[in-house]
Amino acid sequence: MKVKIGDIAPDFKLLNQNGEYVNLYDFIGEKIVVLFFYPKDNTPGCQKQACAFRDSYDIFKEQGAEVIGISSGTQTSHAAFASNNNLPFVLLSDLENGVRRMYGVTKTLAILPGRVTYIINTHGEVIDVFESQMKFSSHVSNALEVIKSNNSIRSK
């Protein structure tokens, strides 16, 4: 089943790059969540995407959002990836791809793990889904646009 706009985001509990467990629902009610699935640590496309999120991280925080990345990499791989690229946000290890399957993130060309970004509002509802294997920085610009638009609607 593919998670789509209007769905309540499924909760999960995964290990982060610091060896701590993180639940999605720990953020619900307090922050908008930018949940991005990416194929693999330390690959050129994933590095571009992660660094684009890093470079806009302060804007996300100002907008009341938290950024969370998920791939099947290990906690050790995520720790190195975060350290090497000065990533200030959470990276979660979905070793068995269970959360990827739960969200319905499919492979591209039947070989590459999908690259999909979900925007989840403070009520836990998915308000946007952006999927593109090659438009790395578009995941960031789209997320910022959706969040700013959502925040302006809420403030009216």
By annotation, the residues acting in catalysis are 46
Beta strands in 30-109 (DSSP E): 32-37, 65-71, 90-93
Helix (H, G, I), strand (E, B) or coil at 4: coil
CB 47 within 8 A of CB 85: yes
25 residue type, one letter = Y
* Nearest partner of 19 among 91, 71, 96, 98, judged by Cα: 91
Residues in the chain: 156
Q: How many CB atoms lie within 10 A of CB 107?
A: 13
CB 46 within 8 A of CB 69: no
Q: How many CB atoms lie within 10 A of CB 91?
A: 26
